[in-house]
Chains A and B, each alone.
Chain A
Amino acid sequence: MTCEDYRGALIESAAAGTVSVGAAAAHLADCAACRAAFAEEQSLFASIDAGLCVTANAEIPPSFVPRVRALITEQSVLPRTWAPARMVFAVAVAASVVILAVQVARHARIDQQRKAPANRELASDVVAPAAPRGVLRSGSASVSPSIVEKRRSGATTKTHQKTPPLDIAETEIIVPPDQELILASYAQYLRRQGLPVVVVDAPESAFQPLKIELIQIAELDVKPLADNYSQ
């Protein structure tokens, strides 16, 4: 083996700070050049260690520890500085709760509006937007929820067809067309009572007078009675 073959092993043993053993040690004993190179490596590592010691063991300024101690004494009130931090945290939590509550309320309102779209659709006539409990009609016929739905579905807006039927127990008051003033005052009275009231003009077609066709009777066949009866 040549000197080059031992170089790596010798450098590593110098880096580790150990004495080479085995074949490398035998080669060192025989080869003066490698011995010199090894000594140079050891010297280099010794210089590195010395340099590291200089770097790492600098003298500590005598004022260092007392100054830090004084700073710590000044900072002994520091735990109180946690108060603003806690306050910020509490405010953040409160703000989060408020935002969450607003969001929940908003979603609940949206859901409610989705469930009862009929209330919105009758907005022009609805006095109070809550679920109507009473229906007043000026006309001569009563209108049930199913009729209202049918009327809506026949209207121009197609969205009405998808709306569920009203789930409301309606109280219907039927008045003739000439009693609209009385109807209005009664509706006003009900509104003051807090009852949601819908006043709707009934379509003309719904209040046409009842037409009854004449009874159709076939031609009568008149026959003379029997003799016994005539007597």
Chain B
Amino acid sequence: MQELVLIQPGRTAQTVLSREAEQAAVRREFEERLTECGPLAFRVARGVLRNTADAEDVAQEALLRAYRRFDRLRDRTRFRAWLVRIAFRLALDRARSSKRRELRETLWSRPERRPSPPTAEDAAASSEFQARLDRAMDELPEKLRLVLLLAAIEGRTIDEVSEMLGIPAGTVKSRLFFARKQLAEKLR
């Protein structure tokens, strides 16, 4: 029988130093991207959750996850699309769990479990039409919803959204068209 010997290389001072330098470089690079992409992650989360506090939590979580896995991202130019997807997925998960929690609270009628009150900004946005629009948005398929949100954020062009999601511009256009049409049907 062969003998298997597991050898753990010793951590010399040089390797420790080079590793720390590498970590610092990764951190600097991530922090540069954080300034640019952090607000985008927040807005994507806010677009799904429509609650500033929840959106902040979700965006923060998305950014931390992205940081932890940043060294595994081969193509750093895809960082923005990657982060958007993480934030969107986390926001959807949070929205679903919030719905389940609200349902439980309705059933149990426990006032202490009510969600946090909306901020002044949330209250300002909660007009009747806005509420209907939000409900209609919730019912959209995820693909259409993400495209609609990204196109609405600071007036991004179709090409920018296409580049961000890695899909053809024609696909973005058709998704936008169907999304708006479905929203209009629900709001008409």
Residues of B near A47 (CB, < 8 A) are 129, 133, 187
Q: Between A and B, how many residue pairs show CB distances below 8 Å?
A: 121
Residues of A near B34 (CB, < 8 A) are 65, 68-69, 72
A64-B38, A68-B63, A79-B19 are contacts. A56–B4 as well, Cβ < 8 Å? no
Residues of B near A104 (CB, < 8 A) are 1
Q: Is the CB of A75 within 8 A of B67?
A: yes
Q: Which of B85-93, B95-103, B145-153 contacts A (4 or more CB under 8 A)?
A: B145-153
Considering the chains assembled together, what is the distance between the CA atoms of A16 and B178 in angstroms?
A: 9
Q: Is the CB of B181 within 8 A of A15?
A: yes
A218 within 8 A of B: no
How big is the B interface, by class?
A: 35 or more
- Name the one of B56, B153, B184 contacting A64, with C-beta atoms under 8 angstroms: B56
A60 within 8 A of B: yes
How far is the CB of B160 from the nearest CB of chain A, in Å? Answer: 14
Scan residues 39-93 of chain B and give those whose CB is less than 8 A from a CB of chain A.
39, 42-43, 46-47, 50, 52, 55-56, 59-60, 63-64, 67-68
A148 within 8 A of B: no
- Name the one of A41, A49, A61, A76 contacting B52, with C-beta atoms under 8 angstroms: A61
B110 within 8 A of A: no
Q: Is the CB of B153 within 8 A of A57?
A: yes
Q: Is the CB of B180 within 8 A of A55?
A: no
B21 within 8 A of A: no
B27 within 8 A of A: yes
Residues of B near A79 (CB, < 8 A) are 19, 23
Q: How many residues of A contact B (CB 8 A)?
A: 40
A68-B38, A76-B27, A97-B4 are contacts. A55–B64 as well, Cβ < 8 Å? no
Residues of A near B125 (CB, < 8 A) are 54-55, 58
B180 closest partner in A (C-beta): A15
Q: Is the CB of B188 within 8 A of A65?
A: no
Residues of A near B47 (CB, < 8 A) are 55-56, 58
Considering the chains assembled together, what is the distance between the CA atoms of A75 and B155 in angstroms?
A: 34
Which among A44, A48, A49, A76 has the greatest number of chain B C-beta atoms within 10 A?
A48
**Shortest 6 CB-CB distances between A and B: which pairs?**
A56-B152, A52-B152, A51-B133, A58-B46, A15-B181, A56-B153
Question: Which residue numbers of A lie inside 8 Å of B, CB to CB?
Answer: 11-12, 15-16, 41, 44-45, 47-49, 51-61, 64-65, 67-69, 71-73, 75-76, 78-79, 90, 93-94, 97, 101, 104-105
Question: Which residue numbers of B lie inside 8 Å of A, CB to CB?
Answer: 1, 4, 6, 8, 19, 23, 27, 30-31, 34-35, 38-39, 42-43, 46-47, 50, 52, 55-56, 59-60, 63-64, 67-68, 121, 125, 129-130, 133-134, 137, 148-150, 152-155, 177, 180-181, 183-184, 187-188
Task: Name 18 interchain pairs, CB-CB below 8 A, sorted by A.
Answer: A11-B181, A11-B184, A49-B152, A55-B152, A57-B152, A57-B153, A58-B121, A59-B121, A60-B39, A60-B43, A65-B34, A65-B35, A68-B60, A69-B31, A71-B64, A78-B67, A79-B19, A90-B6
